[in-house]
Amino acid sequence: MIYFNIYLGKFSRSICLDRGIPGIYHGFMIYPGLLQTVAKRITLSNVMGGLAFLLVASLMLFILSACSKQVSYPSPVQIGSNIVIDMSSLELEVPKFYTYQLQNKKVNFFVIKKEDTPLSFLDACSSCYPHKQGYRCEDNAVICRYCNVRLPISKLEKGIGSCYPIKIEGKMENGKYMIAVDTLEKAADKF
């Protein structure tokens, strides 16, 4: 016989499983001062099937929630109707990622300094954007988090192919790189 104690809030129950017939367990629920036989027969395969289902369902929930989460980055400085990036804060050919918060949407983008010219891109491409995973930076390249396409930073400006980051326009002004907030707001459908 196998005994289990189950605590449900202020109620306590004991369950006794007795293996009388091979492969079949008879269950008894013991209430305080009262013994009742459970009319259900529990087979070992039913128990194992239920545990397997719970394991698979839990694993799928974990994978789906982990894969669908959009990355967040530091917020950029906003002055008036422009996002302002200080060029001195950028390293040569190293993307710096930002998140512009627009109501319930996170519009992610990155800026790269090439020589003295900055380039800016959405953290999304025209083919993989529905998955909202963006890019990561590794060894002088950006890599799509969804399809794993590796794009050298030196070739980003050309933007040839389906998984290239979407270029966004900006302008230099007094050592600062300015991106119009309106530009990011128009791109919010990619996020």
CATH classification of 77-190 is 2.40.100.10, yes or no?
A: no
DSSP designation for 92: B
Average pLDDT, the chain: 76
pLDDT digits (tens, 9 = 90+) for 132-147: 889 999 999 999 999 9
Name the β-bridge partners of 84.
77, 178
Between 51 and 143, the more confident residue is 143
d(CA 30, CA 60): 36
Res 58: pLDDT: 59
Percent with pLDDT over 90 in the chain: 41
Q: Where would I find the H helices in 125-171?
A: none
Q: What local confidence, expressed as pLDDT, does residue 43 receive?
A: 55
Between 158 and 75, residue with greater pLDDT: 75
What is residue 72's predicted lDDT score, i.e. its pLDDT?
A: 86
Interatomic CA distance for residues 181 and 191, integer angstroms: 15
- Answer whether 137's CB lies under 8 Å from 95's CB: yes
Hey, where are the domains in the chain? 2-67, 77-190
